[in-house]
Chains A and B, each alone.
Chain A
Amino acid sequence: MHSKKPFYILVALLFISGIATSVFRGIEHNVPFLPGKQVQSWGVEAKVRFQGTGEPAEVSFSLPNDPAFEILVENASSPGFGLSITDEPQNRRAIWSIRSANGQQDLYYKVTLIPTGSTTIKAQGIPEVTDTYIWPATEKLAAEQAIEEVWAKSATNLSFANQLNKAFNASERSQNIELLLSSNSPSKLFVRMLNSKGIPAQEVSALYLEDQRRRQQLTNFVEVYNDGEWHLFNPNDGTQGRPDNLLLWDRSGKSTLDVIGGINSQVNFSMLQDTRSALATSLDVMNNQGTLDFSLYQLPLEEQSLFKGILLIPIGVLMVVFLRVIVGLKTSGTFMPVLIALAFIQTTLLTGLVGFILIVACGLMIRSYLSQLNLLLISRISAVIIVVIGIIGLFTLLSYKFGLSEGLTITFFPMIILAWTIERMSILWEEEGPKEVVLQGGGSLFVATLAYLAMSAPWIQHWVFNFLGIHLVILAIVLLMGQYTGYRLLELRRFKPLAGE
Chain B
Amino acid sequence: MKFSFAKPSALRSKGVLCMNKRNIDYIGRCNPRKFYKRVDDKLTTKQLALANNIAVPSLIGVVREQHEIESIPAMVASEDGFVIKPSKGSGGKGILVITKVEAGRYYKPNGQEVTPSDVYRHVSNVLSGLFSLGGNPDVAIVEGLIQFDPVFDGYSYEGVPDIRLIVYKGFPVMGMLRLSTAASDGKANLHQGAVGVGVDIGTGKGLHAVQFDEPINFHPDTNKKLTDIEVPHWDFLLHTASKAYEMSEMGYLGTDMVLDRVQGPLLLELNARPGLAIQIANNRGILPYLDNVDKLGNHNMTVDERVEYAKKHFCHSAQL
Task: For the complex, give the distance between the alpha carbons of A109 and B163 in Å.
Answer: 90
Contact indicator per residue, chain B 8-19, by CB within 8 Å of chain A (1) or not (0): 101110101011
Residue pair B18, A500 in contact (C-beta under 8 Å):
no
Q: Is B249 an interface residue (CB 8 A)?
A: no
CB-contacts of A111-149 with B (<8 A) = none
Tell me, yes or no, whether A374 is within 8 Å of chain B by CB: yes
Interchain CB contact (< 8 A) of A495 among B11, B24, B192: B11
0/1 per residue, B244-271, Cβ < 8 Å to A? 0000000000000000000000000000
Contact B124 A497 (CB under 8 A): no
Selecting from B151-159, B164-172, B280-288, B297-305, the interface stretch reads B280-288
Interface membership of B66, Cβ < 8 A = yes
Binding stretch for chain A, among B57-65, B125-133, B231-239: B125-133
State whether B11 touches A485 (Cβ < 8 A): no
Task: Decide: B7 and A497 in contact? CB cutoff 8 A.
Answer: no
In the complex, what's the smallest C-beta–C-beta distance from B128 to chain A, in angstroms?
3
In the complex where A496-B5, A498-B14 touch, is A485 in contact with B21 (Cβ < 8 A)? yes
Docked-complex contact A483 and B24, CB < 8 angstroms: yes
Q: Assess whether A178 is interfacial by the CB under 8 Å rule.
A: no
B128 contacts which chain A residues (CB < 8 A)?
Answer: 376-378
B120 touching A500, Cβ below 8 Å:
no
Contacting pair A486 B20 (CB below 8 A): yes
Q: A483-B24, A499-B7 are in contact. Are A491 and B18 (CB under 8 A)?
A: yes
Chain A residues contacting B130 (CB-CB under 8 Å) are: 377, 427
A: contact size bracket: 20 to 34
Residues of B contacting A500 in the complex (Cβ-Cβ under 8 angstroms): 10, 14
A497:B20 contact, CB within 8 angstroms: no
Question: How many angstroms between the C-alpha atoms of A283 and B14 in the bound complex?
Answer: 58
Which A464-501 residues have a C-beta within 8 angstroms of B? 483-489, 491-500
The answer for the CA separation of A484 and B22 in the assembled complex, in Å, is 11
Report whether A486 and B14 are in contact in the complex, using a CB–CB cutoff of 8 Å. no
Q: CB within 8 Å of B: which of A309-338?
A: 325, 328
A254 to B8, CA, bound (A): 77
| Cβ of B213 under 8 Å from chain A | yes
Is the beta-carbon distance between A495 and B21 smaller than 8 angstroms? Answer: no
Q: Which residue of A lies closest to B215 (CB)?
A: A497
User: Of A1, A431, A483, A491, which contacts B19 at CB under 8 A?
Assistant: A491
- Bound Cα distance from A493 to B21, whole angstroms: 17
A336 to chain B, nearest CB (A): 13
Which one of A376, A378, A488, A498 contacts B20 once the chains associate, using CB atoms below 8 Å?
A488
**CB within 8 Å of B: which A3-43 residues:** none
How far does the alpha carbon of A495 sit from the alpha carbon of B10 in the complex, in Å? 10
Nearest-neighbour CB distance to chain B for A500, whole angstroms, equals 7
- CB within 8 Å for A497 and B10 given contacts A376-B128, A377-B124, A486-B20: no
* Chain A positions within 8 Å of B121 at CB level: 371, 374
> A1–B294 Cα gap in the complex (Å)?
13
Cα distance A377–B137 in the bound complex, in angstroms? 11
Q: How many angstroms between the C-alpha atoms of A115 and B314 in the bound complex?
A: 76
Which residue of A is nearest B192, CB measured? A432
Of the candidates A1, A432, A488, A499, the one whose C-beta lies within 8 Å of that of B10 is: A499
Q: Which residues of A contact B279 (CB under 8 A)?
A: 495, 498
Q: Is the CB of B8 within 8 A of A487?
A: yes
- Residues on B with beta carbons closer than 8 Å to the beta carbon of A325: 20
The residue in chain A whose Cβ has the minimal distance to the Cβ of B126 is: A377
Cα-based distance from A1 to B130 in the complex (angstroms): 38
Q: Is the CB of B20 within 8 A of A485?
A: yes
Knowing A376-B124, A432-B192, A491-B19, the reply to whether A496 touches B24 (Cβ < 8 A) is no
Beyond A374-B121, A432-B192, A495-B6, whether A328 also contacts B19 by CB under 8 A is yes
* In contact, A485 and B24 (Cβ under 8 angstroms): yes
Interface centre among A432, A484, A488, A494 (most CB of B within 10 A): A494
CB distance from B50 to the nearest CB of A (A): 30
In angstroms, Cα B18 to Cα A496, docked, is 12
**Interface contact B215-A493, CB-CB below 8 Å:** no
Return A431 CB to nearest CB of chain B, in Å.
7
| B317 beta carbon closer than 8 Å to chain A | no
- In the bound assembly, the distance between CA atoms of A325 and B16 in angstroms comes to 17
Inter-chain contact A376/B25, CB cutoff 8 Å: no
Please, which residue of chain B has its CB at the minimum distance from the CB of A374?
A: B121
Q: Give Cα A486–Cα B129 distance, bound, in whole angstroms.
A: 34
Q: How far is the CB of B125 from chain A (nearest CB, A)?
A: 6
B4 near A487: Cβ-Cβ < 8 Å: no
Q: Which of B4, B19, B29 has the most CB of A within 10 A?
A: B19
B312 within 8 A of A: no
Asked whether B6 lies within 8 Å of A499 as measured between CB atoms, the reply is yes
Given contacts A376-B66, A491-B18, are A497 and B280 in contact (CB under 8 A)? yes
The reply to whether B192 and A498 form a contact with Cβ atoms under 8 Å apart is no
Please indicate the chain B residues that have their CB under 8 angstroms from the CB of A487 in the complex. Answer: 8, 11-12, 16, 18, 20
Q: How far is the CA of A494 from the CA of B284 in the complex (A)?
A: 13
Q: Which of A328, A376, A427, A492 contacts B8 (CB 8 A)?
A: A492
Residue of B nearest to A491 (CB): B18
Do the beta carbons of A377 and B285 come within 8 Å of each other?
no
- A453–B5 Cα gap in the complex (Å)? 26
Question: In the complex, what distance in Å separates the CA atom of A274 from the CA atom of B124?
Answer: 70
> Complex Cα distance A485/B23, Å?
8
For B3, B20, B66, the residue with the greatest tally of chain A CB atoms inside 10 Å of its CB is B20
Chain B residues in 8 Å Cβ range of A497: 210, 213-215, 280, 283
Interface hub of A483, A494, A498, A500 (most chain B Cβ within 10 A): A498
What's the Cα separation between A9 and B121 when bound, in Å?
A: 54
Contacts of B319 in A (CB 8 A): none
Q: Which residues of A contact B283 (CB under 8 A)?
A: 497-498
Q: Which of B6, B7, B16, B21 has the most chain A CB atoms inside 10 A of its CB?
A: B6
Which residues of B in the span 213-233 have a Cβ within 8 Å of any Cβ on A? Answer: 213-215
Q: Are B24 and A492 in contact (CB under 8 A)?
A: no
Which partner residue on chain A sits nearest B66 by CB separation? A376
- Residue picked from B5, B7, B8, B129, most chain A C-beta under 10 Å: B5
In the assembled complex, the CB of B135 is this many whole angstroms from the nearest CB of chain A, namely 9
Known contacts A328-B19, A486-B18; decide if A494 and B25 are in contact (CB<8 Å): no
Given contacts A487-B8, A491-B19, contact A498 B124 (CB under 8 A): no
Q: Which residue of B lies closest to A1 (CB)?
A: B29
Residues of B within 8 A of A491 (CB): 11, 18-19
- Set of chain B residues within 8 Å of A376, measured between Cβ atoms: 66, 124, 128
6 A-B pairs closest in CB distance? A377-B128, A499-B6, A485-B21, A499-B10, A492-B5, A496-B6
Q: Could you tell me which B residues sit within 8 Å of A by CB distance? A: 3-8, 10-12, 14, 16, 18-21, 24-25, 29, 66, 93, 117, 120-121, 124-125, 128-130, 192, 210, 213-215, 279-280, 283-285
7 contacts between A and B (CB under 8 A): A484-B20, A487-B18, A491-B19, A493-B5, A495-B279, A495-B280, A499-B11
16 further A-B contacts with Cβ under 8 Å, apart from A491-B11, A495-B280, A497-B213, are A374-B121, A377-B130, A378-B128, A432-B192, A485-B25, A486-B21, A487-B8, A487-B16, A487-B18, A492-B7, A495-B16, A496-B5, A498-B16, A498-B280, A499-B7, A500-B14
